[in-house]
Structure 1
Amino acid sequence: MKRILTIALSLGIAAGASAQQTQKPPLHGKNWMAVTGKPLAATAGAMIFQQNGNAVDAACAMLAATCTMWDVLSWGGETQALIYNPKTGKVIAINALGVAPTGATPEFYKGKDYDFPPEYGPLAAVTPGTVGGLCYMLANYGTMSLKEVLAPAMDMAAGYPIDAQTANQMERGKKYINQWPYSKAVFLTHPGATREAPEAGEIFVQKDLLTTLQKLVAAEQDALAKKKSRKEAIMAAYDRFYKGDIAKEFVRGCQEQGGLITLQDLANWKPVEEEPLHVNYKGIEVYKLKEWTQGPMLLQSLNILENFDLKAMGYNSPSYIHTIYQTMNLTFADRDFYYGDPAFNKNPAIAGLLNKDYAKARAKQINPSQNDAAAGPGDPYPYIGKTNPYLHFLEERSAFMDTTNGRKPGGFVPKHDATFLPTASPEQLYAANDIDSTYMDRLWRGTTSVEAADKDGWVVSITPSGGWLPACIAGKTGVGMSQRAQSFVLDSAICPFNVIAPGKRPRVTLTPSMALKDGKPFLCFGVQGGDTQDQNLLQFFLNVVEFGMTVQQATEAANINTNQLWLSLGGTTVKDRQPRPGSILLNSNTPEKTRQQLQQMGYHLSFGDRTSGPINAIFLDRAHNSLWGGSSNHGEDYGIGW
C-alpha cells in the first residue's frame, strides 16, 4: 500500500484529505502539538506541555534538546523563529543569528587563498546565537523558568543513549575532530579503537556542556533569590553566557584553536525582534523572515506562481515541474544577488522583489517549453521608483557565471554533487545514488526544525542550526562553534549585499514558515536541508493549498530540487559553488514519459528515493478546533500531540 501511494503521488494523483495512506500516521491533538527532528527532543516538548507550559516554553525545550543531541546543530549555533502571539494577533520574527567576528574581512580570507570562508573549523565561526535566542523567546513569550525548560536537556547532557545517526556522524567526521582537542575529548569516546566514536545506544555524556547549562540555571536562580523578575532572571543567565565566565572560556577556547571571536564580539551581539515579511497567496498570508535568510525566495515564488493555473497542470506533471523549476531559478537568482543583512544595506531591494507587478514581469520570462540556462537576477528597483545601484556588479557577475568550462551547461560536477550524471542511463543514476552518499548527505543535512502549537493559540516555528558535526568545541564549554561564516561571499560581483564584514550577519538558508488564513494561524512548517529548504517548503505549501493534501501526505509527497543556484554551504572555491543549469533531482518513481518530456526541455536528470526533505508541520483545523501534525518519513523527525 505504501508503494501504491508513492506511485500515485508521483503520477500526479493528489490524495484527498480522506485518504490516510501514508508511511507515518498523521498526528492529532486538541491541546498541543510538538514536532521536531528527534524523538527524544519531541518528548522534551511533550514534558513541558504536560507541565502546563505554552508552545514557546515547549519549543525552547525542544530547541535545547536538539542542541544537546547535536541534531545537525549545537548550542553555539543560531536560532531563527516565527511566533504567533494570540494576545496581539500578530506574527513576530526572532533574529538570533550570529555575526562575523572582529577581523573577518574579505582580505583576511583571500589572504589564506579562500574564495569563500571555510566549511569547518574556528575560521568558519560566527558568534553563537542560540543561547541568546532561546533566552529572549522564553523571557518575553514563555511562562516557565529557564531551570524548568532546560531540565530535559540537562538530563540528556548528563548522559543519554545516543542514536546511530549522530554517532555515525561523529565517526565519519573524526579526521576533523582529531584536529580539535576539545572536540576530540567529547566525541571520540573510544580513542585508538577502530571505531572511536560512540556506538548507537551508548550513554553519551557531556560533562562540560552540563556544567555550562548548570551555570546558566545558577545565574537565573541567583537573580530570583535577589527578587528579580522572571524575565530579569532569565536575562541574567543570558549575560553570564555572553559577558561572564562562560564567555571568557568560549573566547579563550576559540582563539586557542585559531578563531577570531573576541569578548567584545560576544558582549556586543544581541538577538533582534523584527517584523516578518509576508505575501498574500489566494487569501492566505504567508510569513517569512527578512532577506538575511533565503525565506523571501518562497514569497517571491508564490507571487510568480499566482500567474499560473497550477491545479489544472496536475501535481508533478511535466508542465507543473517545469513551471516550479523555472520559478525557483528566477527567485534563487534574485536571492543569490540581492539578499543579505539589511542592517548593512543602504539600498534594499526587498520591497521591489516582493512587488506583485515585478512577479508578473518575471512570470512572463518563463519559456513554457524549455529550461532557461541563463536565468539571472531581475531588476526590482524600478518597481519601487528607484534606479538599481548595482547594475555594474551584474555585468561583472558574468565572469562568475561561466559554468560550462567548455562543456555543456550542467557538465561540471562539484565534488559534493557527484551523483549528477546528465548522460547516464537510469540504471547508472540509481547506482550512483546508492554508491555516492556525499551528495545526498549534503542535500538533506544542515539543521532541524521545531514546530509547536497549543490550545491557547500560541504557534511557533523555529529553524535552528550551526555548530553541526564535525564541530569545533570552544574550550571547556562543551559548546560547538557555528560554521555559518561559509555562507558569506568575498566578492561583491557575486552578491553585493552579502560580503563578509565584522558585525554582519551572513545570508543563511534557515527559514521557518507560518501561514495565516482569515487572520488566524493556518500552518506552521519547516525543514532541514540547506539550499533545498525553501524548495521543499514551497512544494509542501502548494501540496496542501492547491492539491488538498493533509500535512502528513504533504510532508511525504515527492518533490523536485533544482541545483541551478549558487550553493550556500560547502566548498571554498567559486568553482565549487557555481550554479548547474538544468540539473534537477526527481523522485525515483517519476514516470518514464515525464522523464522524457523533461529531457526534451533541456533538463539533466538525477533521481532519489527522498526528494521532499524532512519536513515538519502543524495544521490548525479551525473547522474542528483541533491540531494536525505532520512529520516526514525521512530521517528521525518525530511528533507528539495531545
Structure 2
Amino acid sequence: MKRLLLFALLLSVSAAQAQQTQKPPLHGRNWMAVTGKPLAATAGAMIFQQHGNAVDAACAMLAATCTMWDVLSWGGETQALIYNPKTGKVIAINALGVAPTGATPEYYKSKGYDFPPEYGPLAAVTPGTPGGLCYMLANYGTMSLKQVLAPAMEMAAGYPIDAQTANSIERGKKYIKEWPYSKAVFLTHPGEKREAPEAGEIFVQKDLLATLTKMVEAETAALKQGKSRKAAIMAAYDRFYKGDIAKEFVRGCQEQGGLITLEDLARWKPVEEAPLHTNYKGIEVYKLQEWTQGPMLLQSLNILENFDLKKMGYNSKEYIHTLYQTMNMTFADRDFYYGDPAFNKNPAIAGLLNKDYAKARAAQINTTMNDANTGPGDPYPYIGKTNPYLHFLEERAQLADTTSGRKPGGFVPKHDATTLLNTGNTDALYAYQGPDSAYMDRLWRGTTSVEAADKDGWVVSITPSGGWLPACIAGKTGVGMSQRAQSFVLDSAICPFNVIAPGKRPRVTLTPSMALKNGRPYLCFGVQGGDTQDQNLLQFFLNVVEFGMTVQQASEASNINTNQLWLSLGGSTIKDRAPHPGEILLNKNTPEATRKALEQMGYHLSFGERTSGPINAIYIDSAHGSLWGGSSNHGEDYGIGW
C-alpha cells in the first residue's frame, strides 16, 4: 500500500512538473524584472541595462505603472520587501498613507456612512508612493532619481494607452466628470459617444510630467550644491511633501471636498520596519506587519503544516476543504485583530503567529463540513495575557447578516470581467456574473505587483496600489488621490484595531511576499486582487513547495477562493461587506466528483475561467546561479530577464 501511495505521489509531482503553460517561463542569469504592464517591465529592463540594481529597476517599474494607471497612480501607496545581500536581511518598507486631519468615525457617520466612501476626496489618505520610492532609491538603490524616473517621464509626455486602461476610463467617466481635474486629464474626447482615449491613442499627462520634472529639478539643484546622492533624492521628496507640489495637491484636494492638510503631508513619512515571518518546513516566509493582511498567509502556513497536504493531492476535495477552512480561520483573525501597530495598545500578532495557537486552530477544523460560523480565535493566552476585546465578539457576530435572500454563486473575478468587457462580449459577462457582480468587484479590486532580482543578490517585492480609476486628481499635480481610507472601519465591533483616526494607517490588502531557504533568497512573489491576494499567494507558495511546480506553472495553476470574510474594499453598508459563508470559487475544469463532494460538505460553488490570480514571481535558483521568472497568464502582466 505504501508503495502505491509513493507511486501516486511521484506521478502527481511529475505531472505538475510537466504541466504545459500558456506563457513561457522566463530565464535570466543577470537580472529579472516582472510587473503588471509590458511597458513597465521594459522600464525595469532599461534600468538594468544601465547597470542599476534590483532596487533601481523596481523603482523604475513602480514609477511606470503609476504613470500608466495600472490600477494605481502616483497618489497611492507602496509596500515593499527588500532582501539586502550586504546584510543578509529582509527589510520592510511601509509607505502607506495615513488618515488626514478630521477623519474620525463621527465625521463619516455624520454623512451617513457605515464605512468611508470608496471614491472621491473623502476616500483619500495621504499619498505614500512618491515618498516610498524616494526612500527605497536613496537608501538601497545606486542611481539618481532623474535616471530612474526617465522612462515614466517619457510616458507622461505621451505613450500609447492600452485597451484595459482606456476602457476603464470610459466605464468610470460618470465619476470622472464630477472631478474637474480628472475630467481634463482623462476625457480626451469630451462630448463624443466615447469620451475616453482609444486603445493605442497617445495619452499625454502634462500636469504629471510637470510634477515629476519639479522633483528632478529639486534633486539636480541639491547635487549642484554639493549634496550627496541620498540627500539630493530626499530634496525631491521634500518638494513633493513640503514644497510647491504639496501646496497644489492640498489646494486641489480641499477644493473638491477633501480633508488633507499641508501639515498632514509634512508630518507623514515612510517607515522602515522589521517584517513578520514564519518557518514552513525549513523555508522562512516573510510578510509585512499587521497593517496589511500579509500575516494571514503566515498564520495559514502555521495551521497547514499540521496536515499532510501532499498526500491529500493538489486540488483534491480534502485539500480544497482544508485550505478553505484554514483561510476562514485566518481571515476571521485578520478581520478582527489586524490594524496599524502604532495605534495598538494590546497587539495580538505574537499570539496569532504562535505555533501552538496554530495547532489548536488546526484541531478545530471540521473535516467533513464547512463551518459557516467560523470566527476569530483567542490568541492572547498564548502570549500570557487576557483578551481585552472579548466583549466585542458577540456584538460583531450580529453584524454579519448572511440571510438577506441573495443567491449564492454566479460570480466572476474582476480580471475575467475586464477581459469580457474589452472583447465586447457583454452578454457573456452578465450571464456569467449573475447577481453578485458588485460584490465580486469589491473582492477582486486590483493593484499591481513589482518583482525584481539581480545577480548580486538584491531581491525586491512590491505591491503598490491606490489612486486607481476612476481617480480624483488633486489640482494641477496630475496625481490621483488614494482611495485607501475605505479600508478603515467605523465600528470597534468589526475590528477594534482598525477604526479610523487622524494619522493612522488603514489595514490594507496589499501584501508583497518573500521566502528564504538555507538563509538565501528563494522566492519573491506578489499578486493583485484585493481580498484574494493572500489566498492566491498561499496557494502559489504551496504549488511550488508541496507540488513541485515552476513559478510559471504555479502562477497559472487553478486556485480556489473563499468569500467567507469581511470585504476590505467597496460598498457603503455592513451588508455590502459582510461574509458570504460557504461561497467558493473553483476553476471551471474542476472534476464533477469533486464538485459533488464539496456541495455535500455545505459549499456553494461558482466557477471561473482563470482562478489563480494575476501572480508575478521570481525563483532564485541557487544551485545553478540563475533566475526563473513567472508572469501571470491573466492579462497584461509581463516580465523580462537577461
SS state at 2:585 partner: strand
Shift of 1:431: 3.5
SS at match of 1:266: helix
2:267 aligns with 268
Q: Against the structure 1 CA distance between its residues 186 and 429, is the aligned structure 2 distance closer, same or farther, given a 3 Å change threshold?
A: closer
Residue of structure 1 in register with 2:38 after alignment:
39
Aligned to 2:355: 356
Query: Which position in structure 2 is the counterpart of 1:424?
Result: none
- Matched to 1:139, the amino acid is A
Question: Residue 347 of structure 2 aligns to which amino acid in structure 1?
Answer: P
Q: Deviations over 1:149-199 (max 9, x none)?
A: 000000000000000000000000000000000000000000000000000
Indicate if the aligned counterparts of 1:159 and 1:203 stay in contact, CA closer than 8 A: yes
**Aligned mates of 1:451, 1:106 — CA distance in 2:** 37
Cα 1:413/1:578, change in 2 over 3 Å = farther
Aligned AA (2:284): E
The correspondence of residues 73-152 of structure 1 with structure 2, limited to 5 A, is 73-152=72-151
Residue 430 of structure 1: how far off its partner (Å): 9.7
Q: What is the match of residue 534 of structure 1?
A: 534
Q: Distance in 1 between matches of 2:608 and 2:214?
A: 45
- 1: CA distance, partners of 2:410 / 2:430: 17
**Structure 1 residues 396-450: Cα deviation after superposition (integer angstroms, max 9, x where no partner):** 1122123224x59x75999999x9xxxxxxxx99933389865665444420000
1:110 alignment partner, SS class: helix
Equivalent residues of 2:297, 2:534 under 8 A apart: yes
Look up the equivalent residue of 1:464 and give its one-letter code.
P
Aligned to 2:335: 336
| Contact residue 443 and residue 569 of structure 2 kept, 8 A | no
1:70 counterpart SS class: coil
Give the aligned partner of residue 154 of structure 2. 155
Aligned to 1:584: 584
SS for the counterpart of 2:629 is strand
Q: In structure 1, give the amino acid aligned to 2:484.
A: R
Match of 2:627 in 1: 627
- Shift in alpha-carbon separation, 1:30–1:125, aligned structure 2, 3 A: same
Please say if residues 279 and 287 of structure 1, whose CA atoms lie closer than 8 Å, have aligned partners that are also in contact: yes
Q: Distance between the aligned counterparts of 1:630 and 1:443, measured in 2?
A: 24
Alpha-carbon shift at residue 371 of structure 1 (Å): 0.1
TM-score (norm 2): 0.94
Report the secondary structure of 1:92's partner residue.
strand
SS at match of 2:485: helix
Code of the residue aligned with 2:639 in structure 1: it is G
In structure 1, what residue type is equivalent to 2:137? L
Question: Where does structure 1 lack aligned partners over 5 or more consecutive residues?
Answer: 1-11, 420-427
Mean alpha-carbon deviation: is it higher for 19-28 or for 368-377?
A: 19-28
Query: Partners of 1:429 and 1:40 in 2: how far apart?
Result: 28
Cα deviation 1:345-403 (Å, max 9, x = unaligned):
01000000000000000001100010000000000000000000001111211221232
The answer to whether the aligner puts 1:188 opposite 2:179 as a matched pair is no
Is the aligned partner of 1:258 residue 2:257? yes
Q: What secondary structure, in the 3-state scheme, does the structure 2 residue paired with 1:489 have?
A: coil
> Tell me, what secondary structure is at the counterpart of 2:627?
strand
Counterpart of 2:279 in structure 1 is 280
Contact 2:378/2:387 (<8 A) preserved: yes
The one-letter code matched in structure 2 to 1:168 is N
State the shift of 1:316 in Å.
Answer: 0.3
Counterpart in 1 of 2:61? 62
Matched, 1:240 2:239: yes
Q: Does the CA contact (< 8 Å) of 2:410 and 2:433 recur in 1? A: no
On the 8 A contact 2:442/2:571 being kept in 1, the answer is no
| Alignment correspondent of 2:604 | 604
In the TM superposition, 1:561-580 aligns within 5 A as 561-580=561-580
Contact kept, 8 Å, 1:35 with 1:638, in 2: the verdict is: yes
Detail structure 1 runs of 4+ shifted over 2 Å in the superposition: 12-20, 410-417, 428-445
Seen in structure 2, the aligned counterparts of structure 1 residues 500 and 415 have a Cα distance that, compared at 3 Å, is: farther
Residue correspondences, number:
622
Amino acid at match of 1:615: I
1:172 aligns with 171
For 2:402, give the aligned amino acid.
T
In the other structure, the counterpart of 1:472 is 472
Counterpart position of 2:203: 204
Q: Aligned equivalents of 2:431 and 2:184: distance in 1? A: 38
1:254-304, CA deviations, whole angstroms, 9 ceiling, x for partnerless residues? 000000000000000000000000000000000000000000000000000
Does residue 520 (structure 1) correspond to residue 520 (structure 2)? The answer is: yes
TM-score by length of 1: 0.94
> Structure 1 residues 436, 322: CA separation in 2 closer, same or farther (over 3 Å shift)?
closer
RMSD of the alignment, in Å? 2.0
